[in-house]
Structure 1
């Protein structure tokens, strides 16, 4: 069993708290007090942001159980940076909205520095997965 140090748990909690405070300060008020209907895409994005924010609140209390939330945040932002922002920058077609989003996404570069990598590998790579079908009792095995 890979143990995670108390220091690393506090780093994770600080990361979740950074997300909770940042979203709560800069994004949540605009979502809660918006005027008029949202376009479909903006509505989806805003609902996902609120869900992420709520899960980050849980992460402050349960930092290890909520690690997939941090991984998801890191991965989607890196995919966006590589698939959208980098080609726009290379071709010289990056607009102001994309530039602003690059800054927001680049903040996710902090995440790999707080993740407990040995724990992640032990629990998400080396650990046996859940069964794909029901387990049959072997002949002669006692039923519990």
Structure 2
């Protein structure tokens, strides 16, 4: 898990922060939102190197958003035969990340500490 946190931190943080701190041209608001999210997300992934279990929800986020993008953006583009080289490249990144996430996430821990406890309702006096 630490390796995945580190890989994401190195692969994304420097690029995103550089884009925000040293823009070549004014950044439009939606691009600014996107890169601000990625810069913050990548920085938090750096914390995952030190605290891998505490930062586990970041891996859930990565798994979810990359799978969502592949299913809701890439596959419709593919059906319409309008795949761009950028979309193809990002699709490969997404599929790789989804597979790695599935492999490194400690699913037994997730089930025990997230899923099972989610369904344990305590009775409160009325």
TM-score range, shorter chain: 0.7 to 0.9
Give the superposition deviation at 1:70.
Answer: 0.7
Q: Helix, strand or coil: the match of 1:127?
A: helix
The CA deviation at 1:20 is 1.1
Q: Which has the higher contact order (CA 8 A, sep 6+)?
A: 1
Which ranges of structure 1 fall in alignment gaps of 5 or more residues? 1-11, 139-144
Structure 1 residue ranges (4+ consecutive) displaced by more than 3 angstroms after TM superposition = 24-28, 128-131
Structure 1 distance, partners of 2:89, 2:29, is 21
CA distance in 2, matches of 1:108, 1:37: 31
After TM superposition, the score normalised by the length of structure 1 is 0.75
8 A Cα contact 2:20 2:32, kept in partner? no
Correspondence for 1:88: 77
Offset of residue 27 of structure 1: 3.8
Q: Larger helix proportion, structure 1 or 2? A: 2
Which residue is 1:73 aligned to? 62
Tell me the number of residue pairs that the alignment of Structure 1 and Structure 2 aligns. Answer: 124
Q: CA deviation at 1:21?
A: 1.3
Match among 92, 97, 107 for residue 103 of structure 1: 92
Shift of 1:28: 3.4
Question: Considering only CA atoms, is the larger Rg found in Structure 1 or Structure 2?
Answer: 1
Structure 1 residue aligned with 2:117: 127
